[in-house]
Amino acid sequence: MARVGGDEYAALLPRAASPDDASIVAMAGTLPLLVAGNDEQQRTYLGGLMKKLSFCAFAITEPGAGSDVASMSTSYRREGDEFVLNGTKHFISNGSVADWYVTFATSDKRLKHKGISCFVFPANLPGITRRRMHGKLGQRAADTGEIYYEDLRIPASAMMGREGEGFKYAMATFDRSRPEIGSIAIGISQRALDECLRYSRQRTAFGQRCSTTRSIQSAPSADTWVIAAQRSGPRASKNTARVARSRPGAAHTSRPVSWSTTTVRNL
């Protein structure tokens, strides 16, 4: 079977992103296991996804630590053969419905990125409380949740990779997932443009089709934005900084496109 490379995958995603962006976003939860999981962890969690319908979540964002991962506050300490976690994660895709979590915590916040480790464990353990976050503007098909760890006890075997290297695993995950997220933004922009064109050709105002009115003919060219984003869109790379820069560019494209399409819908 031919293997699809990162660039080819990112190029295909915009077409899938429109109807299926919720599932694509959720894929980030599996990537750390491919990066740092041992055979037993991969067999248990990735194998479980193949056996029955189940969900996972990549729990890294916190109220005070979004892009600045090194500033996370969720903590862990070791007690015998267990780790004890305390903290809050929010804006987590699949956060309120996941069957298991990949999460990140620090042993000492003063250590910044050097104190972060990565863990994988079931979502139904005592010490976990979660809720769904409501009121999102878009991607309503994708569950977004907030997770609370209160003296959550997990076995030492739940740690992935080496202690203190969780930041490295998170960045490796982002290197793979950010091209996908950027591609989703392009896909949403393309879908918005398609819906706009279809509506403008059907809608009649002032005795003519909206697509022929002066306000539409002189509106900012949404298709120009989409084409530009596709040409300079996200690409796979081992350079974390390069990948990180590609995502905002694609995401920002959706703003003027959405503005232009909203203008048409208001006619």
Q: Which domains does the chain have, with CATH numbers?
A: 38-160 (2.40.110.10), 170-265 (1.20.140.10)
Sign of CA dihedral 50, 155, 104, 95: positive
d(CA 242, CA 227): 21
Please state the rounded mean pLDDT for residues 167-196: 79
d(CA 114, CA 70): 8
- Tell me which DSSP letter residue 55 carries: -
pLDDT score for 203:
76
pLDDT per residue as tens digits for the range 216-260? 665 555 555 555 555 555 555 555 445 445 445 555 555 555 555
Q: What is the pTM of this model?
A: 0.73
pLDDT per residue as tens digits for the range 88-107? 999 999 999 999 999 999 99
Cα–Cα distances (Å) from 155 to 39, 66, 88, 113, 211, in that order, read 17, 27, 20, 23, 62
pLDDT score for 138:
72
d(CA 167, CA 224): 38
Q: Of 6, 12, 10, 15, nearest to 187 (Cα)?
A: 15
Residue 213 CB neighbours (<10 A): 17
